Amino acid sequence: MKILKFCAIIIVAMASCKPAATDFTPVPFESQLILDDARYFWAHCPADLTGDGVADLVFIHNNASGGYLGYYTGHIGSGLWEKVTISNEPMDSIFFAGGDLECADIDGDGDLDVLAIRHPGEWVEAGAVAHLSWFENPSWKEHAIGKVPDAVKDVSFTDFDKDGHMDLAVLTFDESTLSLFQQGEDSVWQRAQYWHDYGNLHEGMAIGDVNGDGYADILATGHAFINPATNLSLPWKTENIHSRWNSQTGDWSRNGTKMFAQDLDGDGQDEVFISHSERAGYPVTWNKRIAENTWEEHVILDSLPACHTLQVYDFDGNGRYDLLAGINKGRAVNLGVDHFELMLLRSEDYEDWQSQIITDEGIYNGQAIDFDGDGDMDFFRYPDHESNEMYLFVNQTIAKNNQVAEKASNP
């Protein structure tokens, strides 16, 4: 088993990344191969299903044409992870497929449950109805949620009305829809909102409070859907963060985005990060809502092609947020791109950014989490959308800091 260490730093010299005032020390990562039997793992997410304090990796196998739902049991150290099947049972001959996956404590019993998407697969019949359900941990009993008209691109759980129950936002591409399913008592679900053929919706969704009212809003394909608060059935105001992200024409790659929300300045309002997930020639930006229907854009990179990973967390432990961004190699080669960097971008002021290249071999739907509970952020790397392998990059910041402290106390 090869364990690779990544800590080299490269400053992007072109205009796409301005030189930073501070020369940041590289964040050290240790790469581990955790599985080698993936097949179209477009929908995957890290979550501690077993409750042992170590993240597992939940997945849908063969999202292109339908497969089974399961997870790999996480462990600390080298070696491939053990696979567990949650369900391989079809419903009306339909297995599982989607472009995203999430876990949450849906029933409020203290453990994480798993979302399921039943669909024939985007490469088989993208326009087929998708049936949404969730599997209860640990019995893995399936419970229905609802349905959406075509293949699912993104899903997000949060308690939108703050009633103590998880709700669900679902984004689809073929019919450009956004659905909000509200969970009531006894896990009864109803669709509280439905936007159909709206604003060129395609791909890229995040949840964040962009107006500072304490309620989570929905960010999708460059649009902001503003939560009316306790009554989710009331009209939601909508704002276009920037028309660049939802006014494209052409083939299926139009208006593909990745989005992420974090409160950079601690003012109670989340800023919104956006990239293009499928095309070249688009920037990576963060955006702040400064008034109703008014957004201020900040460019991080002038261009990053097929940027299918955006994760915003404090990776180096200095109290400021960093950006993990990377290129989907499998898509980029079709754009004539010959570089596939995954980079960690850091800044003192969120204006001048310094780039650490972690690998130049690509990433697809990267997911960050404190995998081992040691206090620093790790991440999972799927090299491209057709890869058979998955890697865990373990952040060594805390471990190295502990080593330094130990040496200092025992000279």
Q: How many angstroms separate the Cα of 190 from the Cα of each of 36, 147, 163, 235?
A: 39, 10, 15, 16
pLDDT band with cut points at 50, 70 and 90 for residue 187: confident
Confirm whether pTM is higher than 0.85. Answer: yes
Report the C-alpha gap between 37 and 389 in whole angstroms: 6
Query: Is residue 368 scored above 60 in pLDDT?
Result: yes
Query: Is residue 1 scored above 60 in pLDDT?
Result: no
Give me the pLDDT at residue 230, please.
84
Give me the pLDDT at residue 20, please.
44
233 lies in some domain: yes
389 lies in some domain: no
Mean per-residue pLDDT over the chain, rounded:
94
Which of 198, 221, 252 is the last residue before a domain boundary?
198
181 and 225: one domain?
no
381 lies in some domain: no
Give me the pLDDT at residue 10, please.
32
97 lies in some domain: yes
Number of domains in the chain: 2
Task: Retrieve residue 229's tokens.
Answer: 């608060």
Give me the pLDDT at residue 400, please.
83
Query: Is residue 409 scored above 90 in pLDDT?
Result: no
pLDDT band with cut points at 50, 70 and 90 for residue 186: confident
247 and 180: one domain?
no
178 and 218: one domain?
no
> Can you give the residue range of the structural domain that contains 97?
41-198
pLDDT band with cut points at 50, 70 and 90 for residue 21: low
Give me the pLDDT at residue 24, please.
92
Q: How many angstroms separate the Cα of 394 from the Cα of each of 41, 44, 55, 216, 306?
A: 20, 18, 12, 30, 24
Give me the pLDDT at residue 254, please.
99
pLDDT in tens, 217-230: 999 999 999 999 98
Please name which of 91, 89, 81, 145 lies closest in space to residue 113, comparing C-alpha atoms.
145
Report the C-alpha gap between 74 and 66 in whole angstroms: 24
204 lies in some domain: no
Taken in order 327, 328, 334, 340, the sign of the CA dihedral is: positive
Query: Is residue 30 scored above 70 in pLDDT?
Result: yes
Please list, in sequence order, all residues whose beta carbon lies within 8 angstroms of the beta carbon of residue 17, skipping any fewer than 6 positions away: 11, 300, 301, 345, 353, 354, 355
312 and 229: one domain?
yes
Query: Is residue 13 scored above 60 in pLDDT?
Result: no
245 and 153: one domain?
no
Burial grade of 293 (CB within 10 A; 0-12, 13-18, 19 or more): exposed
388 lies in some domain: no
67 and 194: one domain?
yes
Give me the pLDDT at residue 11, please.
31
Please list, in sequence order, all residues whose beta carbon lies within 8 angstroms of the beta carbon of residue 279, skipping any fewer than 6 positions away: 248, 253, 254, 256, 305, 306, 335
192 and 45: one domain?
yes
Which of 345, 362, 379 is the last residue before a domain boundary?
362
pLDDT band with cut points at 50, 70 and 90 for residue 404: low
Q: What is the distance between the terminal CA atoms of the chain, rounded to a whole angstrom?
A: 34
Q: What is the DSSP letter of 116?
A: E
Query: Is residue 93 scored above 50 in pLDDT?
Result: yes
pLDDT in tens, 319-363: 999 999 999 999 999 999 999 999 999 999 999 999 999 999 999
pLDDT in tens, 42-66: 999 999 999 999 999 999 999 999 9
320 and 227: one domain?
yes
241 and 306: one domain?
yes
190 and 239: one domain?
no
pLDDT in tens, 262-290: 999 999 999 999 999 999 999 999 999 99
235 and 286: one domain?
yes
Query: Is residue 5 scored above 50 in pLDDT?
Result: no
57 lies in some domain: yes
127 lies in some domain: yes
pLDDT band with cut points at 50, 70 and 90 for residue 402: confident
375 vs 404: which has the higher pLDDT: 375
Give me the pLDDT at residue 7, please.
40
71 and 96: one domain?
yes
Which of 198, 219, 245 is the last residue before a domain boundary?
198
